[in-house]
Copies of this chain bind each other. A is one copy, B any other.
C-alpha cells in the first residue's frame, strides 16, 4: 500500500465526493429523490434493491448529510427521507451523468427517460464547464492547482 492518502486524506475533491456517493446505489437513490420519492417502500419499489441494502444506504446518506429524516407529510406515522441542501446540490452531478449516459449508452432508437424543463417543455440544456465569462471549457483549457484557503 502506498499510504499515499490515508492519513491526510485526499486533497482531490473528486476523490472525496466519490467516497461519499460513489457506490452503486447512492446516486440512484438521489435521482429518485429528485422525482419526489420519499418513502422507504417507494425507493425500494423503484430501485428493486434489497431492503437491507436500501436501509444501509439511506442510513449512510443521512449520516453524511445528504438526506434528513422528516415526519411524513401526510398524516401517516412514518418518516420520510428528504434531501438536504447538500443533497439537492447533487443535481448537476446526476444530470451530467444522465446526459452522458443518454448520448453514449443508448442506441438511437432505444426508449429512454429524458429530463424536461417544466416551464418550457423543452429538454434541459446540455451541461458544460464554463469560464467565468460563460464560454465552454474543455479539459485542455483548465489546470488544477493546490490551494490552502488561509486568506479569509
> Which A positions have Cβ atoms within 8 angstroms of B?
1-5, 11-20, 22-24, 27-28, 31, 34-35, 48, 65, 83, 86, 88-106, 108-120, 122-125, 127-134, 137-139, 141-150
Contacts and interface: CB of A to CB of B under 8 A. Distances in A.
Contacts of A83: 139
A115 B142 contact: yes
Highest count of chain B CB atoms <10 Å: which of A5, A83, A91, A122: A91
Contact of A128 (B11, B92, B104, B115): B92
Contacts of A28: 12, 14-15, 18
B105 A100 contact: no
Given A31-B12, A119-B141, A112 B17 contact: no
